[in-house]
């Protein structure tokens, strides 16, 4: 988790510093990414409660433990590209993107919409790459 956070912070810092001309320090970018990821704790707690509440362990999908994205309602064995892209529309991930965008906007003097768009664009690139690999190896 920490290594992935460090990589995300470095990529976003570089994008804001070179792409928008802002001056964001690495430690600030790292803090923004860490705090932006806090809604993931709520998602993990809901998944834990769902599992402990009597969900069938055989039917429990670790990749989609709660119904927070359209992929929860899809067959995991079907079209892998569509499944991966549907899982990208997770409520908690979108919340993370907005929080990170607001954090970068406040610290870089970039418009809030621009900052959210930059974070969302990198997330889209990441998910398209992952979905492409999932489709390739399925």
The tokens describing 26, both together, are: 């690495």
**pLDDT per residue rounded down to tens, the chain (138 residues):** 899 999 999 999 999 999 998 999 999 999 999 999 999 999 999 988 888 887 777 777 777 888 888 988 888 777 788 888 888 899 999 999 999 999 999 998 899 999 999 999 999 999 888 888 877 887
Q: H helices then E strands: how many in the chain? A: 6, 0
Please tell me the total count of domains within the chain. Answer: 1
pLDDT for the residue numbered 114: 95
Tokens 């900052």 found at: 115
- 44 is in which domain, residue-wise? 2-136
């Amino acid at each position: 988790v920490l290594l992935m956070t460090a990589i995300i912070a470095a990529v976003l810092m570089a994008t804001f510093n070179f792409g928008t001309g802002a001056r964001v320090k690495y430690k600030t970018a790292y803090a923004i990414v860490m705090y932006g990821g806090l809604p993931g704790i709520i998602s993990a707690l809901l998944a834990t409660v769902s599992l402990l509440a009597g969900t069938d362990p055989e039917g429990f999908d670790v990749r989609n433990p709660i119904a927070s994205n359209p992929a929860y309602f899809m067959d995991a064995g079907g079209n892998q590209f569509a499944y991966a892209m549907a899982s990208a529309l997770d409520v908690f991930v979108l919340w993370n993107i907005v929080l990170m965008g607001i954090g970068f906007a406040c610290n870089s003097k970039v418009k809030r919409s621009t900052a959210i768009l930059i974070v969302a664009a990198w997330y889209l690139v990441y998910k398209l790459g992952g979905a492409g690999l999932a489709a390739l190896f399925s």
